[in-house]
Structure 1
Amino acid sequence: MKQQGTGRGHEDDWWRRLYGDGGGAGGGAAGDTGASDAPDTLDDRVASALRALAATGRAAPAPGDAPERPERPGPATGKPPGRTAPPPPPAFPTPPAPIPLQATGPGSRPATPRRPVPPPRGAPADPPPSAPPPDGPEPGPLPAADPAALDELVPDTALDGARYGSLTLRAASRRGDLARHRGDARRDALLTVRFGSGRHALLLVAVATGPPAGEGAARAARDACTWIGGAVGRSCTRLAEDIRTDQREALRSGLQRLTDRGYGTLRARAQERGLPPERYTAALRCLLLPADPECRTRVFFGVGPGGLLRLRDGAWQDLEPTAPDHLPRHAPADPGDPTPPTPGGSADGTPAEPFLFRTAFARPGDMLLLCSAGLAEPLQQDRVFAARLAAEWSAPGPPGLTDFLTAAQLRVEGHPKDRTAVAVWES
């Protein structure tokens, strides 16, 4: 009992030195409840514990080890609890144990990938890549928008269609892979519109493409479509009658005049914007389609590059007008008319693309294709692509809108331009 009491007193003194009960470093008397004036921060408590350990000659417990606790009676003996006497102090006091620190040098932990650091505000952005990625044609960033000109935004893709009498129309315009990757606006514009009603209705489909490096190229293309649409709409009754009666020369002269005036308006808009005329212009290609099922004459006219093809019996036929079909230009009807000698020409009279005109007679089973250069070029240069489109569009009956778009946007390596396709199936 004496030994047990002695050991218990020694251990109580060790616990008082370690945790303290208000008596400071030397410990207070049993039952002392006076408050200590010593600082009571976490660092002070750790320092006090280390001093107590040094004074008793005991080493600090390893991290995670619990201090020795009194033994508890076993379930069978029922003996009163006893305490295990601490071991005798060593001959030389053990120095305070250092607090373990986490290693931070090389090899202390597996390497983790570093996140890219965004450039500071105002830093110049990386130049846009010159070629689109080889993966799928998913849209990239949106084109920049002006909050004061949201009406100038152009959607990535436009899709339209109609059916009148013996013809079925499908039209699609989509942004090219390069423009999608760079976040540029689609420079191809598409207009499908009907003037009149019943058998006297006239359909107009216009496709325009702005210049590659022109400021406001998308706006210029839409302006070209809008202005030719307005001009045709105001003359639709006379044009529809000329088509039904096959007045080819009257059609050529009238459509050429309307086209000239549209390009004159484009040049006036370029001056308003402070741009040279060649920077605010567009290639323009149009189809006039009578809704009368008894009239199968289809009229093409326009200016600039693109394609006009016919799919007949599973084979492509190039209907692009050739040089003999280009007639000399007419003189302006009014001496004060600002229309220049050639559509799309510069203000100083520099010649530009000639006016194009052609009529075609449709047979049941034919498909007439009007397209921008972005689709005409791969059709003319890639036989595999041309054969695949011919197979897709030679199936019985015209495709649905989504099927037509899927075929029109088939990717061809080396041809990342915008694509616009207008197809007319005859029954």
Structure 2
Amino acid sequence: MSQQGERRTGRDDDWWGQLYDDTTQDTGPTPAPDTLDDRFASAADTVQERFPSPRGRDDTPPASDTPPTPVAPAPETPRTPVAPAPWEPPVGPSGPVTFGSGSGPVAGPAPGAGGSHGPEEPAPPGGRARGADGPGTLREQAGRPDPAGPAHVGDGPPTYEPEPTALPMADPDDLAGLVADTVLDGARHGSVTLRAASVRGDSARYRGDPRRDSLLTARFGSGDSALVLVAMATGARATPGAHRAAAEACAWIGRAVVRSHQRLAEDIRAARRGDLKSGLHRLTDRSLGRLRARAADLGLQPDEYAASLRCLLLPADPRCRTRVFFGVGAGGLFRLREGEWQDIEPRGAEAVGDAVVGFGSPPPHTPEGDRLTMDLGITTPPSPYEPAPERPHEPFRFRASVARPGDTLLLCSAGLAEPLRGEPALAEHLTRRWEKSDPPGLAAFLADVQVRVKGYADDRTAAALWEA
């Protein structure tokens, strides 16, 4: 029968009838022996016939003194195929032996013994089932650590899938406004190595929303007089165009810094803390003021087109180890020093001293000995201007610190700062990864930033500095 379902004719019909006609007798068992040795001998003979040895077949000694049993040929009747026996894996002292990518076999755990794979858990909404102790935890599998790090830390797996699902809705008239799921960058200037990444959060990936975080890394100038800027912004939650507001905030602070980068680099090298604070405060207010003006042009309320803004300035001069942070809005500024994370985020309008993550409150003075301004409950006198100017929702944050060799400085948005403060396992994991090792590559840093924690599904943006 042909592929179109028609019967063959002529000589083909004779062959078809001989094979499948009702009058054809069953061939039954073949007269030839069918042992394993006979199969091997038959295969060897076939190979010798098709690919004769250079010395000829007569040089091959017979397998045995007994002449082989003649096999009756059946030109028109094919041999009945015999299904091979199912293959059984060899069994070692601790269970079945599996073969990995290494040079030898890797023994797997015996049935009932504790191993790297536990009972399967039901798949979370929008996710896939995974083992209780599978690759999503800090445990290593079969003694082979995953160089990319674990998928999550904490008590259990997060609700959402670890990989992107739905793409954001695209506007055909504004394709330039599309935001990539992940942005990754890095550099090395002077004695510092920079790694930066911005990743869309799990909830935004699941809903198909664009990433609200924006990241800008830029170098202004050349040589030792160059100045490196890292800016990150987060658009307001649940507002249309939040990703555009974040991108514009980064772009405007970048333009403001590039116009003043020579003066800023000189102030950093000369440690003019007061000039730096007032000048960066003015640049930040100007940039965010343009964002409020843009909201008015779009017919939106200022809170509907707003963004938090956090920046780092570092000179390329290897002799200068001053690192300047400034910005407005939520996030985190942490330092890994001698195996311990320190939360050096400025509280309020003044810079505060160091505090270990998750322990206690900031000290009443800075390491330089400056006393902090405290709220004494004094009523603010009425303003002579009517109406009184609105008090800003978020204070300006500023900190200038001197780095030491071996330090790791981490600036991040609220999407990473909150789990770093709330889940000790995440801080411990990053400590093991970053404490006594060379700066990670771009892919390894991205994997570290993406370590997930249940209950935290916002966008994550982070920039880390490794001091040589």
Could you tell me how far apart the structure 2 residues matched to 1:244 and 1:149 are?
A: 42
Could you tell me how far apart the structure 2 residues matched to 1:360 and 1:276 are?
A: 37
Cα displacement (A) at 1:254: 0.3
Tell whether 2:453 aligns with 1:412: yes
Query: What's 2:166 paired with?
Result: 141
5 Å-filtered alignment, 1:345-364, equals 349-364=390-405
Query: For residues 291-348 of structure 1, what are the alpha-carbon distances to aligned partners after superposition, in whole Å with 9 as ceiling and x for unaligned?
Result: 00000000000000000000011110011012461699xxxxxxxxxxxx9xxxxx97
Tell whether 2:281 aligns with 1:240: no
5 Å-filtered alignment, 1:30-109, equals none
5 Å-filtered alignment, 1:310-329, equals 310-323=335-348, 325=350
Cα displacement (A) at 1:165: 1.1
Query: For residues 383-404 of structure 1, what are the alpha-carbon distances to aligned partners after superposition, in whole Å with 9 as ceiling and x for unaligned?
Result: 1111111111113210000000
1:197 to 209, 219, 222: 222
* Bigger mean CA offset, 393-402 vs 218-227: 393-402
Cα displacement (A) at 1:141: 1.0
Query: For residues 169-221 of structure 1, what are the alpha-carbon distances to aligned partners after superposition, in whole Å with 9 as ceiling and x for unaligned?
Result: 00000000000000000000000000000000000000100011122000000
- Assess if the C-alpha contact under 8 Å between 1:132 and 1:177 holds in 2: no
Cα displacement (A) at 1:350: 4.4
Cα displacement (A) at 1:349: 2.1
1:398 to 434, 439, 448: 439
2:175 to 145, 150, 153: 150
Query: For residues 142-175 of structure 1, what are the alpha-carbon distances to aligned partners after superposition, in whole Å with 9 as ceiling and x for unaligned?
Result: 1011111111100000000000110000000000
Cα displacement (A) at 1:136: 3.5
Query: What's 1:383 paired with?
Result: 424
1:254 to 260, 265, 279: 279
Paired residue secondary structure (1:351): coil
Tell whether 2:320 aligns with 1:279: no
Amino acid at match of 1:294: R
1:171 to 196, 209, 217: 196
Could you tell me how far apart the structure 2 residues matched to 1:160 and 1:385 are?
A: 22
Could you tell me how far apart the structure 2 residues matched to 1:186 and 1:323 are?
A: 28
Query: What's 1:15 paired with?
Result: none
In 2 relative to 1, CA 408–251 (structure 1 residues): closer, same or farther, beyond 3 Å?
Answer: same
Give the TM-score normalised by structure 1. Answer: 0.64
Query: What's 1:374 paired with?
Result: 415
Paired residue secondary structure (1:225): helix
Paired residue secondary structure (2:271): coil
Could you tell me how far apart the structure 1 residues matched to 2:175 and 2:349 are?
A: 44
Query: What's 2:376 paired with?
Result: none
Amino acid at match of 1:191: L
Give the TM-score normalised by structure 2. Answer: 0.58
Could you tell me how far apart the structure 1 residues matched to 2:347 and 2:168 are?
A: 38
- Assess if the C-alpha contact under 8 Å between 1:159 and 1:401 holds in 2: yes
Cα displacement (A) at 1:231: 0.1
Amino acid at match of 2:325: F
Cα displacement (A) at 1:253: 0.3
Report the aligned-residue RMSD. 2.1
In 2 relative to 1, CA 212–348 (structure 1 residues): closer, same or farther, beyond 3 Å?
Answer: farther
Query: What's 2:240 paired with?
Result: 215
Could you tell me how far apart the structure 2 residues matched to 1:396 and 1:146 are?
A: 44
- Assess if the C-alpha contact under 8 Å between 1:132 and 1:416 holds in 2: no
Paired residue secondary structure (1:325): coil
In 2 relative to 1, CA 230–401 (structure 1 residues): closer, same or farther, beyond 3 Å?
Answer: same
Could you tell me how far apart the structure 1 residues matched to 2:264 and 2:126 are?
A: 43
Could you tell me how far apart the structure 2 residues matched to 1:375 and 1:303 are?
A: 17
In structure 2, the gaps of 5 or more residues are 1-124, 128-158, 352-371, 374-382
Could you tell me how far apart the structure 2 residues matched to 1:228 and 1:138 are?
A: 32
Amino acid at match of 1:377: E
Query: What's 1:305 paired with?
Result: 330
1:290 to 293, 315, 318: 315
Could you tell me how far apart the structure 2 residues matched to 1:234 and 1:199 are?
A: 18
In 2 relative to 1, CA 132–310 (structure 1 residues): closer, same or farther, beyond 3 Å?
Answer: farther
In 2 relative to 1, CA 200–155 (structure 1 residues): closer, same or farther, beyond 3 Å?
Answer: same
- Assess if the C-alpha contact under 8 Å between 1:244 and 1:297 holds in 2: yes
Amino acid at match of 1:315: E
In 2 relative to 1, CA 359–193 (structure 1 residues): closer, same or farther, beyond 3 Å?
Answer: same
- Assess if the C-alpha contact under 8 Å between 2:160 and 2:203 holds in 1: no
Identity %: 62
Paired residue secondary structure (1:260): helix
